[in-house]
Amino acid sequence: MKLNRVNTNVYYIDGGVNLGLVVGENGDALLLDAGIDESVARKARRLIEESGFRLKGIIITHAHADHCGGAPYLVKATGAKVFSSAFEKTVLEFPIWEPLYLFSGAYPPAPLRNKFLLAPGVKVDGVMEPGKGSIEGIDVEFLDISGHTLGQIGIEVEGVLFCADSVIAQEYIKKHGVPLHAHIKKALDTLNFLEKRSAALFIPSHGVPVDDIKPVVDANRQRIMETLEYVTDILKEPRTAEEILRGVCERFGIVMSNMTQYYLMNLSVMAYIGYLLDEGEIMNFYEAGRQFFRVKM
Ligand SMILES: [Zn+2]
Protein backbone atom coordinates (compact mmCIF):
# COMPACT_ATOMS: atom_id res chain seq x y z
CA MET A 1 0.00 0.00 0.00
CA LYS A 2 1.23 3.50 -0.79
CA LEU A 3 -0.16 7.00 -1.10
CA ASN A 4 -0.33 8.00 -4.77
CA ARG A 5 -0.87 11.64 -5.63
CA VAL A 6 -3.12 12.16 -8.66
CA ASN A 7 -3.50 15.95 -8.58
CA THR A 8 -3.12 18.87 -6.21
CA ASN A 9 -5.43 17.68 -3.44
CA VAL A 10 -6.44 14.18 -4.47
CA TYR A 11 -4.63 10.94 -3.71
CA TYR A 12 -5.40 7.26 -3.61
CA ILE A 13 -3.99 4.42 -1.57
CA ASP A 14 -3.67 1.28 -3.65
CA GLY A 15 -4.56 -2.07 -2.09
CA GLY A 16 -7.11 -4.91 -2.10
CA VAL A 17 -9.59 -2.04 -2.29
CA ASN A 18 -8.27 1.30 -3.55
CA LEU A 19 -8.95 4.04 -1.01
CA GLY A 20 -9.34 7.69 -2.01
CA LEU A 21 -7.96 10.65 -0.10
CA VAL A 22 -9.03 14.29 -0.53
CA VAL A 23 -7.03 16.91 1.33
CA GLY A 24 -8.16 20.46 2.19
CA GLU A 25 -5.97 23.59 2.24
CA ASN A 26 -5.24 23.17 5.97
CA GLY A 27 -4.24 19.49 5.79
CA ASP A 28 -7.59 18.12 6.96
CA ALA A 29 -8.41 15.00 4.98
CA LEU A 30 -11.34 12.84 3.88
CA LEU A 31 -10.78 9.16 3.26
CA LEU A 32 -12.95 7.30 0.78
CA ASP A 33 -13.56 3.79 2.11
CA ALA A 34 -11.67 2.20 4.97
CA GLY A 35 -10.42 -1.20 3.80
CA ILE A 36 -11.48 -4.60 5.08
CA ASP A 37 -10.04 -4.59 8.59
CA GLU A 38 -7.94 -2.90 11.22
CA SER A 39 -4.66 -3.98 9.63
CA VAL A 40 -5.47 -2.21 6.34
CA ALA A 41 -6.91 0.80 8.18
CA ARG A 42 -3.76 1.10 10.33
CA LYS A 43 -1.57 1.22 7.22
CA ALA A 44 -3.85 3.84 5.66
CA ARG A 45 -3.75 5.92 8.84
CA ARG A 46 0.05 5.75 8.95
CA LEU A 47 0.29 6.90 5.30
CA ILE A 48 -2.10 9.79 5.99
CA GLU A 49 -0.34 10.94 9.16
CA GLU A 50 3.19 10.52 7.78
CA SER A 51 2.20 13.00 5.06
CA GLY A 52 1.15 15.50 7.72
CA PHE A 53 -2.60 15.21 7.05
CA ARG A 54 -5.34 14.91 9.67
CA LEU A 55 -8.14 12.43 9.04
CA LYS A 56 -11.46 14.21 9.67
CA GLY A 57 -13.99 12.22 7.69
CA ILE A 58 -14.51 8.79 6.16
CA ILE A 59 -16.92 8.43 3.25
CA ILE A 60 -18.05 4.85 2.75
CA THR A 61 -19.08 4.13 -0.87
CA HIS A 62 -21.13 1.08 0.12
CA ALA A 63 -21.50 -1.31 3.03
CA HIS A 64 -19.48 -4.26 1.73
CA ALA A 65 -17.02 -5.44 4.35
CA ASP A 66 -13.94 -4.93 2.16
CA HIS A 67 -14.86 -1.23 1.96
CA CYS A 68 -16.02 -0.53 5.51
CA GLY A 69 -14.47 -3.15 7.86
CA GLY A 70 -11.58 -0.83 8.80
CA ALA A 71 -13.85 2.12 9.67
CA PRO A 72 -14.44 1.40 13.42
CA TYR A 73 -10.67 1.35 14.02
CA LEU A 74 -10.18 4.69 12.22
CA VAL A 75 -13.06 6.32 14.11
CA LYS A 76 -11.62 5.16 17.43
CA ALA A 77 -8.04 6.14 16.57
CA THR A 78 -8.70 9.54 14.98
CA GLY A 79 -12.23 10.66 15.92
CA ALA A 80 -13.08 10.98 12.21
CA LYS A 81 -16.77 11.19 11.30
CA VAL A 82 -18.41 8.67 8.98
CA PHE A 83 -20.55 9.50 5.93
CA SER A 84 -22.59 7.33 3.57
CA SER A 85 -25.82 7.24 1.60
CA ALA A 86 -29.05 6.75 3.57
CA PHE A 87 -29.48 3.19 2.33
CA GLU A 88 -25.92 2.04 3.05
CA LYS A 89 -26.15 3.61 6.53
CA THR A 90 -28.71 0.98 7.48
CA VAL A 91 -26.26 -1.81 6.63
CA LEU A 92 -23.21 -0.03 8.09
CA GLU A 93 -25.00 0.35 11.42
CA PHE A 94 -26.57 -3.13 11.37
CA PRO A 95 -23.95 -5.13 9.44
CA ILE A 96 -25.77 -8.43 9.99
CA TRP A 97 -27.98 -7.23 7.10
CA GLU A 98 -25.45 -8.39 4.53
CA PRO A 99 -25.19 -12.10 5.44
CA LEU A 100 -28.88 -11.91 6.47
CA TYR A 101 -30.13 -10.80 3.05
CA LEU A 102 -27.77 -13.22 1.31
CA PHE A 103 -29.34 -16.06 3.34
CA SER A 104 -32.90 -15.08 2.30
CA GLY A 105 -33.46 -12.96 5.41
CA ALA A 106 -32.90 -15.84 7.80
CA TYR A 107 -30.22 -15.66 10.46
CA PRO A 108 -27.02 -16.59 8.61
CA PRO A 109 -25.06 -19.64 9.80
CA ALA A 110 -21.45 -19.29 10.98
CA PRO A 111 -19.80 -19.84 7.55
CA LEU A 112 -21.57 -16.65 6.35
CA ARG A 113 -20.67 -14.63 9.43
CA ASN A 114 -17.08 -14.13 8.25
CA LYS A 115 -15.04 -10.97 7.80
CA PHE A 116 -15.82 -10.78 4.07
CA LEU A 117 -19.59 -10.57 4.67
CA LEU A 118 -20.01 -9.39 8.24
CA ALA A 119 -18.12 -6.19 9.00
CA PRO A 120 -18.00 -4.69 12.48
CA GLY A 121 -20.72 -2.06 12.70
CA VAL A 122 -19.96 1.64 12.55
CA LYS A 123 -22.16 4.62 13.39
CA VAL A 124 -22.84 6.93 10.45
CA ASP A 125 -22.68 10.64 11.36
CA GLY A 126 -23.89 12.13 8.11
CA VAL A 127 -26.02 11.03 5.18
CA MET A 128 -25.00 12.29 1.73
CA GLU A 129 -27.36 12.96 -1.18
CA PRO A 130 -26.17 13.03 -4.80
CA GLY A 131 -24.89 16.48 -5.80
CA LYS A 132 -22.28 18.97 -4.68
CA GLY A 133 -21.57 19.07 -0.99
CA SER A 134 -18.96 19.82 1.59
CA ILE A 135 -17.60 17.76 4.47
CA GLU A 136 -15.30 19.32 7.05
CA GLY A 137 -14.84 22.29 4.69
CA ILE A 138 -13.75 20.08 1.76
CA ASP A 139 -15.85 20.27 -1.43
CA VAL A 140 -16.92 16.94 -2.88
CA GLU A 141 -19.47 15.99 -5.51
CA PHE A 142 -21.46 12.89 -4.57
CA LEU A 143 -22.65 10.63 -7.37
CA ASP A 144 -25.40 8.02 -7.42
CA ILE A 145 -23.62 4.97 -8.82
CA SER A 146 -26.03 2.36 -7.45
CA GLY A 147 -26.54 -1.08 -8.96
CA HIS A 148 -23.69 -3.03 -7.38
CA THR A 149 -25.57 -2.26 -4.17
CA LEU A 150 -28.79 -0.26 -3.82
CA GLY A 151 -27.16 2.80 -2.28
CA GLN A 152 -23.61 2.86 -3.64
CA ILE A 153 -22.16 6.36 -4.03
CA GLY A 154 -19.06 7.62 -5.80
CA ILE A 155 -17.35 10.98 -5.51
CA GLU A 156 -15.72 13.37 -7.93
CA VAL A 157 -13.15 15.94 -6.84
CA GLU A 158 -11.04 18.08 -9.19
CA GLY A 159 -11.80 15.85 -12.18
CA VAL A 160 -10.96 12.61 -10.35
CA LEU A 161 -13.92 10.26 -10.15
CA PHE A 162 -13.86 7.43 -7.62
CA CYS A 163 -16.33 4.90 -9.00
CA ALA A 164 -16.18 2.18 -6.28
CA ASP A 165 -17.48 -1.20 -7.51
CA SER A 166 -19.69 0.16 -10.33
CA VAL A 167 -17.10 -1.25 -12.73
CA ILE A 168 -14.34 -3.76 -12.23
CA ALA A 169 -11.20 -3.97 -14.37
CA GLN A 170 -11.29 -6.32 -17.35
CA GLU A 171 -8.91 -8.82 -15.71
CA TYR A 172 -11.29 -9.12 -12.72
CA ILE A 173 -14.22 -9.80 -15.05
CA LYS A 174 -12.22 -12.73 -16.45
CA LYS A 175 -11.35 -13.90 -12.94
CA HIS A 176 -14.83 -13.56 -11.34
CA GLY A 177 -16.95 -14.44 -14.37
CA VAL A 178 -19.97 -12.29 -13.52
CA PRO A 179 -19.50 -8.99 -11.63
CA LEU A 180 -21.70 -8.66 -8.54
CA HIS A 181 -24.76 -6.47 -9.01
CA ALA A 182 -27.88 -6.34 -6.84
CA HIS A 183 -29.91 -4.22 -9.29
CA ILE A 184 -29.24 -4.81 -13.00
CA LYS A 185 -31.25 -1.85 -14.35
CA LYS A 186 -29.45 0.58 -12.04
CA ALA A 187 -26.10 -1.05 -12.81
CA LEU A 188 -26.71 -0.43 -16.54
CA ASP A 189 -27.85 3.17 -15.86
CA THR A 190 -24.67 3.74 -13.86
CA LEU A 191 -22.50 2.42 -16.71
CA ASN A 192 -24.24 4.86 -19.10
CA PHE A 193 -23.72 7.66 -16.59
CA LEU A 194 -19.99 6.93 -16.21
CA GLU A 195 -19.49 6.71 -19.95
CA LYS A 196 -20.92 10.21 -20.44
CA ARG A 197 -19.03 11.73 -17.54
CA SER A 198 -15.97 13.71 -18.60
CA ALA A 199 -13.63 13.15 -15.67
CA ALA A 200 -9.87 13.29 -16.24
CA LEU A 201 -9.27 10.15 -14.18
CA PHE A 202 -11.48 7.29 -13.00
CA ILE A 203 -10.42 5.22 -10.00
CA PRO A 204 -12.31 1.96 -9.46
CA SER A 205 -11.99 0.15 -6.13
CA HIS A 206 -10.64 -2.94 -7.85
CA GLY A 207 -8.17 -2.17 -10.63
CA VAL A 208 -5.85 0.60 -11.76
CA PRO A 209 -6.91 4.21 -12.42
CA VAL A 210 -7.79 4.91 -16.05
CA ASP A 211 -8.19 8.17 -17.96
CA ASP A 212 -10.53 6.55 -20.49
CA ILE A 213 -13.40 4.73 -18.78
CA LYS A 214 -15.06 3.69 -22.07
CA PRO A 215 -13.25 0.33 -22.60
CA VAL A 216 -13.87 -0.61 -18.94
CA VAL A 217 -17.56 0.34 -19.16
CA ASP A 218 -17.87 -1.58 -22.44
CA ALA A 219 -16.36 -4.74 -20.93
CA ASN A 220 -18.63 -4.55 -17.86
CA ARG A 221 -21.73 -3.85 -19.95
CA GLN A 222 -20.85 -6.63 -22.34
CA ARG A 223 -20.66 -9.16 -19.52
CA ILE A 224 -24.07 -8.04 -18.17
CA MET A 225 -25.58 -8.36 -21.66
CA GLU A 226 -23.96 -11.80 -22.18
CA THR A 227 -25.38 -12.95 -18.85
CA LEU A 228 -28.87 -11.64 -19.69
CA GLU A 229 -28.70 -13.30 -23.10
CA TYR A 230 -27.57 -16.60 -21.60
CA VAL A 231 -30.26 -16.64 -18.89
CA THR A 232 -32.99 -15.73 -21.41
CA ASP A 233 -31.73 -18.46 -23.72
CA ILE A 234 -31.73 -21.28 -21.15
CA LEU A 235 -35.18 -20.16 -19.95
CA LYS A 236 -36.71 -21.34 -23.21
CA GLU A 237 -37.04 -24.43 -21.00
CA PRO A 238 -38.49 -24.03 -17.47
CA ARG A 239 -35.76 -23.93 -14.83
CA THR A 240 -35.47 -23.33 -11.11
CA ALA A 241 -33.26 -20.53 -9.72
CA GLU A 242 -30.74 -23.16 -8.64
CA GLU A 243 -30.57 -24.54 -12.17
CA ILE A 244 -30.06 -21.03 -13.59
CA LEU A 245 -27.25 -20.48 -11.09
CA ARG A 246 -25.61 -23.74 -12.12
CA GLY A 247 -25.91 -22.78 -15.79
CA VAL A 248 -24.40 -19.30 -15.28
CA CYS A 249 -21.46 -20.86 -13.40
CA GLU A 250 -20.89 -23.34 -16.23
CA ARG A 251 -21.17 -20.66 -18.91
CA PHE A 252 -18.66 -18.31 -17.27
CA GLY A 253 -16.29 -20.88 -15.76
CA ILE A 254 -17.15 -20.15 -12.12
CA VAL A 255 -16.21 -22.93 -9.68
CA MET A 256 -18.10 -22.89 -6.37
CA SER A 257 -16.10 -23.84 -3.32
CA ASN A 258 -17.68 -22.19 -0.28
CA MET A 259 -20.85 -20.63 1.11
CA THR A 260 -19.64 -17.03 0.72
CA GLN A 261 -19.00 -17.51 -2.97
CA TYR A 262 -22.25 -19.46 -3.47
CA TYR A 263 -24.49 -16.84 -1.86
CA LEU A 264 -22.80 -13.88 -3.57
CA MET A 265 -23.17 -15.59 -6.94
CA ASN A 266 -26.75 -16.49 -6.02
CA LEU A 267 -27.44 -12.80 -5.30
CA SER A 268 -26.20 -11.87 -8.77
CA VAL A 269 -28.33 -14.54 -10.42
CA MET A 270 -31.41 -13.42 -8.44
CA ALA A 271 -30.72 -9.85 -9.66
CA TYR A 272 -30.85 -11.09 -13.27
CA ILE A 273 -34.04 -13.09 -12.60
CA GLY A 274 -35.65 -10.06 -10.93
CA TYR A 275 -34.66 -7.80 -13.82
CA LEU A 276 -36.06 -10.18 -16.45
CA LEU A 277 -39.33 -10.54 -14.48
CA ASP A 278 -39.68 -6.75 -14.19
CA GLU A 279 -38.91 -6.31 -17.88
CA GLY A 280 -41.69 -8.80 -18.67
CA GLU A 281 -39.26 -11.13 -20.45
CA ILE A 282 -39.81 -14.13 -18.20
CA MET A 283 -42.54 -15.53 -15.95
CA ASN A 284 -42.66 -17.86 -12.98
CA PHE A 285 -44.88 -20.78 -12.06
CA TYR A 286 -45.06 -23.48 -9.41
CA GLU A 287 -45.04 -27.22 -9.79
CA ALA A 288 -44.56 -29.99 -7.24
CA GLY A 289 -43.26 -27.62 -4.57
CA ARG A 290 -40.75 -25.93 -6.86
CA GLN A 291 -40.70 -22.48 -8.47
CA PHE A 292 -39.80 -22.40 -12.16
CA PHE A 293 -38.93 -19.53 -14.47
CA ARG A 294 -39.31 -19.49 -18.24
CA VAL A 295 -39.46 -16.97 -21.07
CA LYS A 296 -42.95 -15.67 -21.79
CA MET A 297 -44.62 -17.51 -24.64
ZN1 LIG B 1 -18.71 -4.14 -3.22
| Ligand 1: centre distance to CA 238 (Å) | 31
Report the DSSP pairing between strands 290-295 and 282-287.
antiparallel
| Ligand 1: centre distance to CA 66 (Å) | 7
| Ligand 1: centre distance to CA 148 (Å) | 7
| Ligand 1: centre distance to CA 182 (Å) | 10
| Ligand 1: centre distance to CA 295 (Å) | 30
| Ligand 1: centre distance to CA 123 (Å) | 19
| Ligand 1: centre distance to CA 267 (Å) | 12
- For 113, other C-beta atoms within 10 Å of its C-beta total 16
DSSP state of 159: T
Indicate the domain borders of the chain. 3-222, 225-295
CATH number belonging to domain 225-295 = 1.10.10.10
| Ligand 1: centre distance to CA 260 (Å) | 14
Task: Give residue 235's pLDDT.
Answer: 98
C-alpha distances in Å from residue 104, one per residue of 64, 97, 157, 266: 17, 10, 38, 10
| Ligand 1: centre distance to CA 28 (Å) | 27
| Ligand 1: centre distance to CA 206 (Å) | 9
Going residue by residue through the chain (297 aa), what tens digit of pLDDT does each one get? 999 999 999 999 999 999 999 999 999 999 999 999 999 999 999 999 999 999 999 999 999 999 999 999 999 999 999 999 999 999 999 999 999 999 999 999 999 999 999 999 999 999 999 999 999 999 999 999 999 999 999 999 999 999 999 999 999 999 889 999 999 999 999 999 999 999 999 999 999 999 999 999 999 999 999 999 999 999 999 999 999 999 999 999 999 999 999 999 999 999 999 999 999 999 999 999 999 999 998
Q: Which listed CATH number (3.10.50.40, 3.40.605.10, 3.40.50.300, 3.60.15.10) goes with 3-222?
A: 3.60.15.10
Is residue 106 within 8 Å of 56, Cβ to Cβ?
Answer: no
| Ligand 1: centre distance to CA 179 (Å) | 10
What is the spatial distance between Cα 84 and Cα 102, in angstroms, rounded to a whole number?
21
| Ligand 1: centre distance to CA 236 (Å) | 32
| Ligand 1: centre distance to CA 237 (Å) | 33
DSSP codes joined into one string, 95-149: TTHHHHHHTTTSPPPGGGSSTTT-PPP----EE--SEEEEETTEEEEEEE-TTSS
| Ligand 1: centre distance to CA 62 (Å) | 7
| Ligand 1: centre distance to CA 280 (Å) | 28
| Ligand 1: centre distance to CA 171 (Å) | 17
Task: Give residue 203's pLDDT.
Answer: 97
Crossing angle of helices 241-252 and 214-234, in 10° steps, is 130
Task: Give residue 176's pLDDT.
Answer: 87
